[in-house]
Amino acid sequence: MRFLKLAVFAFLLVLPGLVRAQTIQINRENKTIAISTTDEAAATADIAAITIGFETLGPDPQSTSAEAGKLSHAILDALHKLGLDDKSIESSGQGLQKNTEFEEKEKPDQRAKQQYIFRQSWEVSASPQSAAEVIRAAIAAGANQSGAINWRISDRKSLQAKAAEAALVKARQVAENMAEGLHVKLGALIYASNETPNAKIYFAPRQGLVLNTESASVASYITVPRALEIRPQTVREEATVYAVFAIE
Closest CA to 33 of 194, 193, 177: 177
Q: Give how many domains the chain has, as a whole number.
A: 2
Please compute the mean of the pLDDT values over residues 166-170 and round it to a whole number.
92
Cβ within 8 Å of residue 225, ≥6 positions away:
none
Range of the domain at 78: 47-154
Return the bridge partners of 242, or none. Answer: 36, 193
Count CA atoms closer than 13 A to 182's CA, side-chain side.
25
When mean pLDDT is compared across 83-87, 136-140, 187-191, the lowest value belongs to 187-191
DSSP-based three-state secondary structure for 236: strand
- Shared-domain flag, residues 67 and 161: no
pLDDT at residue number 200: 39
Residue 211 falls inside a structural domain: no
When mean pLDDT is compared across 10-24, 118-132, 189-203, 210-224, the lowest value belongs to 210-224
pLDDT at residue number 228: 78
- Shared-domain flag, residues 77 and 174: no
- Shared-domain flag, residues 169 and 135: no
- Shared-domain flag, residues 145 and 86: yes
- Shared-domain flag, residues 161 and 68: no
pLDDT at residue number 106: 83
Residue 20 falls inside a structural domain: yes
Residue 208 falls inside a structural domain: no
159 pLDDT tier (thresholds 50, 70, 90): very high
- Shared-domain flag, residues 12 and 25: yes
Q: 27-56, pLDDT tens digit by residue?
A: 345 688 888 899 999 999 999 999 999 999
82 pLDDT tier (thresholds 50, 70, 90): very high
DSSP state at residue 203? P
- Shared-domain flag, residues 107 and 53: yes
pLDDT at residue number 216: 31
Name the more confident of 212 and 113. Answer: 113
> Virtual CA dihedral for 177, 181, 187, 192, nearest 10 degrees?
-50
Residue 235 falls inside a structural domain: no
Distances (CA, A) of 147 to 58, 71, 186: 24, 17, 53
Residue 238 falls inside a structural domain: no
Residue where one domain finishes, among candidates 201, 219, 237:
201
- Shared-domain flag, residues 13 and 73: no
- Shared-domain flag, residues 139 and 104: yes
DSSP-based three-state secondary structure for 58: strand
CA 171, 173, 178, 184 torsion-angle sign? positive
DSSP state at residue 220? -
Ramachandran class of 208: left when φ > 0, alpha when ψ lies in -120 to 50, beta otherwise: left
Kindly tell me the burial class for residue 2, based on how many C-beta atoms sit within 10 Å of its own C-beta (0-12, 13-18, 19 or more).
Answer: exposed
Residue 87 falls inside a structural domain: yes
pLDDT at residue number 56: 96
- Compute φ and ψ for 14, nearest 5 degrees: -100, -10
Residue 98 falls inside a structural domain: yes
Please compute the mean of the pLDDT values over residues 75-83 and round it to a whole number.
96
Gyration radius (Cα) of the chain, Å: 28
Whole-number Å distance between alpha carbons of 146 and 139: 7
Residue 245 falls inside a structural domain: no
